[in-house]
């Protein structure tokens, strides 16, 4: 049987070499495309939240990114002058020299006027304070004919008059009436709630927020905003005296949330 050889088939040989050449060109073009498109020049955006601007600008310079302050807010429990949020968010893939827009926590606290909520019900007082950019602090009950009627409003342990200026997001403590025939409430179920929603729910049920504990999965301020309650004491549906404290534990660990 005659041995097959490409030398005897010049047409076939040229055809095969042509295919090899085309494949090689496609591979070279793909390589060049990867080199000259943004794919291989993309950067991973770091997490700038809770860092002050000198730190942020140094990191951005090292990574060939540009920082632009887009806005400012005032968050009472966040250090002044640090980044509150960013866009694009941490972990995003961007091109070199991309602008990262940040919102910083203002160094100048915004002041608001305290409304008068004396004579209001707890629910009405909570709504009025919220509309003014404030919140309900501790509930202190004293004997009175009407349960949950606001008798006094206080700030940092002292009575505060309507019109007084305090920092936005401050908490106003309320002294409330408590009738002996109407002095208990049921503990709400706040599992799966963020701290803000859990606290609102607890206060709406005439209770105080007690100890607040975050587990090891909560590493920064942003995590704390997304953390949810996975345990509480007393348990939900327990009947307790009004003004009792409810302790909560929060996490961002999905296994604990389940």
Please indicate, yes or no, whether residues 188 and 178 belong to a single structural domain of this protein: no
* Residue 118 shares a structural domain with residue 176: yes
Residue of 12 and 27 predicted with greater confidence: 27
Q: Is 112 helix (H, G, I), strand (E, B) or coil?
A: strand
83 touches 48 (CB < 8 A): yes
Examine the fold and report which residue of 133, 166, 182 is the final residue of a domain before the chain moves on. Answer: 182
CATH classification of the domain holding 170: 3.30.10.20
* 61 assigned to some structural domain: yes
Query: Which structure tokens are listed for 46?
Result: 């770091």
Run of H or E residues at 114 = none
Mean pLDDT of 220-228: 87
Residue 22 falls inside a structural domain? no
- Residue 144, pLDDT above cutoff 90: yes
What dihedral do alpha carbons 114, 248, 222, 126 form, nearest 10°? -20
**Same domain membership, residue 208 and residue 237:** yes
* 21, part of any domain: no
> Structurally, how many domains does the chain consist of?
3
Query: Of 154, 182, 210, which one is at a domain's C-terminal end?
Result: 182
Is residue 178 domain-shared with residue 189, that is, in the same domain? no
Query: What is the chain's length?
Result: 258
| The pLDDT of residue 258 | 75
Rounded to two decimals, what is the model's pTM?
A: 0.70
Cα 91 from chain centre: 16
Calculated CA dihedral for residues 52, 58, 59, 60, nearest 10 degrees: 100
Q: Is residue 122 part of a domain?
A: yes
Residue carrying structure tokens 């704390």: 224
Q: Note whether 98 and 135 are same-domain residues.
A: no
Rounded to an integer, what distance in angstroms lies between the CA atom of residue 146 and that of residue 165?
A: 29
What pLDDT digit, counting tens, does each position of 91-132 carry?
999 988 999 999 999 888 889 999 999 999 999 999 999 999
Domain for residue 10, yes or no? Answer: no
172 within some domain: yes
Query: What DSSP letter does each residue of 178-221 carry, written as one string?
Result: EBTTB-EEEPP--TT-BHHHHHHHHHHTT-EEEEEEE-TT--SH
Last residue of a domain, one of 54, 80, 105: 105
Range of the domain at 144: 110-182
């Amino acid at each position: 049987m005659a041995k097959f050889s490409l030398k005897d088939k010049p047409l076939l040989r040229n055809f095969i070499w042509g295919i090899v050449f085309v494949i090689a060109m496609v591979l070279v073009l793909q390589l060049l495309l990867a080199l000259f498109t943004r794919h291989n020049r993309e950067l991973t955006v770091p997490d700038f939240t809770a860092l002050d601007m000198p730190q942020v600008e140094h990191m951005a310079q090292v990574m060939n990114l540009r920082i632009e302050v887009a806005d400012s807010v005032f968050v009472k429990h966040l250090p002044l002058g640090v980044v509150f949020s960013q866009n694009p968010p941490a972990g995003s893939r961007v091109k070199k020299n991309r602008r990262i827009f940040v919102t910083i926590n203002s160094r100048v606290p915004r002041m608001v006027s305290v409304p008068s909520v004396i004579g209001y019900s707890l629910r009405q007082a909570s709504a009025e304070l919220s509309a003014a950019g404030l919140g309900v602090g501790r509930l202190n009950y004293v004997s009175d004919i009407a349960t949950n009627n606001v008798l006094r409003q206080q700030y940092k342990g002292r009575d505060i008059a309507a019109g007084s200026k305090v920092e936005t997001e401050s908490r106003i403590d309320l002294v409330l009436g408590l009738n002996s025939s109407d002095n208990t409430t049921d503990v709400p179920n706040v599992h799966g709630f963020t701290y803000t929603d859990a606290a609102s729910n607890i206060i709406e049920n005439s209770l105080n927020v007690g100890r607040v504990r975050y587990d090891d999965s909560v590493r920064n301020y942003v995590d704390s905003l997304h953390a949810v309650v996975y345990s509480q004491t007393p348990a939900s549906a327990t009947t307790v005296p009004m003004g009792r404290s409810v302790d909560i534990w929060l996490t961002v660990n999905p296994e604990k949330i389940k």
